[in-house]
Amino acid sequence: MTDRPDFDYIVFEDRNKEYGAFHLRKYYKNSVLTGFIVAALVFTSALSAPLIYTRYLGSKPVQDEDKVIVVDMLAIEDPFVPPPPEEEIKQPEKPVETATVKNLELEVKPDAEVRNEEVPPTDEELTDKQSGAETKEGSDIVQVAPDPVPEPKPEPPKIETWAPEMPEFPGGPSQLLKFFSNYLEYTERAEAEGIQGTIRVSFVVNIDGTITDVKIVKGLGYGLDEQVLKAFKRMPKWKPARKGGKAVPLRMVSPVVFTLEDN
């Protein structure tokens, strides 16, 4: 059995084999295998070099010793905790000495030994003094009146928003409309601009019927809001609201309508 001819010899048969292409094709496989082996060795060396150096050639890292910091929590001042109030050092009060009059004990003696100056105190002498073992002057007693204790202020009654018996203008709604017609006027600016609409007013009817805390909830401007506030200041007392059988303050919201009549 004869050897099969090489493929390169078949291709370059009757051709110039000294040409470079024949040489490249002949040694191509060997060159590729050699290059692959060299590249694999270089790649493997590059990966293992740091590990080999660290394990066998490099110096071991020195670990820092753990440092312990001792903090005295009692010595730290909390800026948010106010210092305790300083106790006021009170001077010792000087005891008040009461004036006394020497009181004589009853003792039986011969007449020759009795001295006239040793007589018991009379009732007049004991009016502002006390009986004691000896007679001495007392110190003045100054009575200081205690500070009056302020009486607690009663809490203001709760302002309701509804009650079984609601507040009422004297004479009813018809009189309220009459009141507004007498005290409300269109301003020249509002009339010139043809302003119409509703102003909503919030106010409180107190237990005595007076009107307070008047506020414009929704206004129209052009001086009409001020007209409404002036009218509420001139209102008479209302019939107060009643809840649970007694008068209570109540907040109301009332509409005030401005309309222009057609000419």
Summarize pLDDT for 218-240 with one digit per residue, the tens.
999 999 999 999 999 999 999 99
Please report, for the domain that includes residue 210, its CATH number.
3.30.2420
Q: Is the dihedral of CA 204, 210, 213, 214 positive or negative?
A: positive
Residue 179 lies in a domain: yes
* 24-38, 120-134, 155-169: least confident range: 120-134
Residue 86 lies in a domain: no
Residue 140 lies in a domain: no
Residue 114 lies in a domain: no
Among 136, 141, 140, 127, smallest CA distance to 101 is for: 136
- What's the domain range around 101? 97-108+119-135
Whether residue 248 contacts residue 160, with contact meaning beta carbons closer than 8 Å, is answered with: yes
pLDDT higher than threshold 90 for residue 45:
no
5 and 52 co-located in one domain? yes
**Do β-strands 211-218 and 246-248 pair in parallel, antiparallel, or remain unpaired?**
unpaired
Count of domains for the chain: 3
Name residues whose C-beta falls within 8 Å of residue 232's C-beta, 6 or more positions apart in sequence.
Answer: 201, 203, 211, 214
**For all residues of the chain together, what is the average pLDDT?**
76
pTM: 0.45
Amino acid at 59: S
Whether residue 241 contacts residue 160, with contact meaning beta carbons closer than 8 Å, is answered with: yes
